[in-house]
Amino acid sequence: MSTSASPPSSFASADDIERVFAAQRAHAPAVRATSADQRKDKLRRLCDGLRTYRTEFQNAIHADFRKAPAEVDLTELKPLLDEAQFAIAHLDEWMAPTRRSSPVFFTGTRSEIHYEPKGVALILAPWNYPLTLTLAPLIGAVAAGNCVTLKPSEKTPHTNVVLKKLIGELYEEREVALLTGAKEVAQGLLEQPYDHVYFTGSPRVGRLVMTAAADHLASVTLELGGKSPAVVDETADLDLAAQRIAWSKFTNAGQTCIAPDYVLVGAPVHDALVARLIDTIEQFYGATAALRRASDDYTRLIDDGHLDRVVGMLEDAVAAGATVAFGGQTNAETRYVSPTILTDVPLDTSVMQKEIFGPLLPIIPVSTVDEALGIINERPNPLSMYLFSQRDTTVETILGRTTAGSTCVNEGFLHYANPNLPFGGAGHSGIGRGHGEAGFRAFSNERSVLWRRYGASLVQAVLPPFTDRKESFLAALLRYFSGP
């Protein structure tokens, strides 16, 4: 990432921003009129392009994160291909008007909801999954018939080069454009009157995006973050819980918005879970600290600033009395923080108050479900929650007394990759939903349409002037429709 006063020449200028927006605004009516087959063709081209550039994306993301090619396939390319193919399979159904029933008073009418594109959409993407989180919202926007401007994070310059090449080859700029830059470019884009803004990132920046969108009365989808808890009770399959928690947490070195941020575990099985987590991490990344540091399967932190932040949280926790039960090694030169398990963590430390977004995992013993609920509910609503239990009543209690964007029971973060499930947050962790049909709806205006097909006698009976006879008729209607 450049730190010089002059931005890289590839960064979009103010003129670029205004030019692209004007071109897309002018072209939006033509894109709005595209058929389902035309939109499917755009999505097929995206799938073909992703396959063509697979190796280039693997190399670019490795250059930005040192991420393993297999992890790029699993967490970046496969979810996108699944999402696009799901949209292609269901687009005719999504675009079709939806019938709605009508009250008796509306006899002779037909009520429908028509789904029309919002117009010109802006997608502001984060750095942690630079391919998936840039292009997954694009799939919904294209399926809905919008023109789209993409702005990826400046923290992934190698990935952005390939992204820009891909988008430039697949689409006209007046239809889909990708503009790179730092926060000044994002601010410039938000000054344009986009019809919908789709932002993925932190709650702090999400508030700024929502404020800017409000100036134009633009709708927003905000996929934010928060402290996503995992709860493990005494009945849980501890081997399964340890494997899924470690996988969900340490993939991408914890730089995942839906990663478990802390674990609440029944006190009697606390030590056993910690031991199994340690075994799992060693199986994943190496049995010694040296092997884990050299592992090609373990990602690095995105930049020096993020490294300093995560290391600072680790040092703060230890200074407050936390125990490093496993890991704790760091290397500033390679931006490495080892998979780390913390125990004896005070609840007022930064690792228990702020989203970690790194490979630190606090394990907190609890004596009762109520104690776990108290810890969860004194924090803002999480984006995701992970429950490990063989006791259905415990699961139902936690589901019924907490709020989260999504929840997995006896599983890791697979829910994100299921296009049949809408994805999003709740309050502090987000507004709106994406993926699959929910993504299509996010970029669509739901237009209510009422058709008069025949007759109008009931309506005629209540039009002015309001004679005694009509007032009597209205009184009878009120009695009839007043319910039991």
What residues form DSSP beta bridges with 342? Answer: 324, 362
Single out the catalytic residue among 71, 173, 257, 408.
257
Are 264 and 347 in contact by the 8 Å Cβ rule? The answer is no
Q: Among residues 244, 348, 354, which one has the least CA distance to residue 309?
A: 354
Ramachandran assignment for 68, one of left (phi > 0), alpha (psi -120 to 50 degrees), beta (any other): beta
What residues form DSSP beta bridges with 114? Answer: 447
Query: Which tokens in the block code for residue 284?
Result: 């994943």
Helix axes 369-377, 392-401, angle to 10 degrees: 30
Report d(CA 33, CA 230) in Å as an integer.
46
Are 263 and 362 in contact by the 8 Å Cβ rule? The answer is yes
Phi, psi of 399, rounded to the nearest 5 degrees: -60, -40
Hey, CA dihedral for 85, 91, 92, 98, is it positive or negative?
A: positive
Single out the catalytic residue among 71, 173, 175, 223.
223
Phi, psi of 161, rounded to the nearest 5 degrees: -60, -45
Alpha-carbon distances, residue 478 vs 289, 471, 472 (angstroms)? 77, 11, 10
Hey, CA dihedral for 309, 263, 296, 51, is it positive or negative?
A: negative
Find the helix or strand (DSSP H, E) in which 342 lies. Answer: strand 340-343
Radius of gyration, CA atoms only, the chain:
26
Active site residue 446: no
Report d(CA 148, CA 174) in Å as an integer.
8
Phi, psi of 114, rounded to the nearest 5 degrees: -105, 140
Active site residue 411: no
Q: Among residues 100, 123, 128, 117, which one has the least CA distance to residue 34?
A: 117
Strands in 430-431's sheet, in edge-to-edge order, are 176-178, 147-151, 120-124, 196-200, 219-223, 430-431
Q: Which are the contacts of 105, defined by CB distance < 8 A and separation ≥ 6?
A: 458, 459, 477, 481
Concatenated DSSP letters of 426-471: -BTTEES-BSHHHHHHHTEEEEEEEEE-S--HHHHTTSSS--HHHH
- Residues carrying an active site annotation: 223, 257
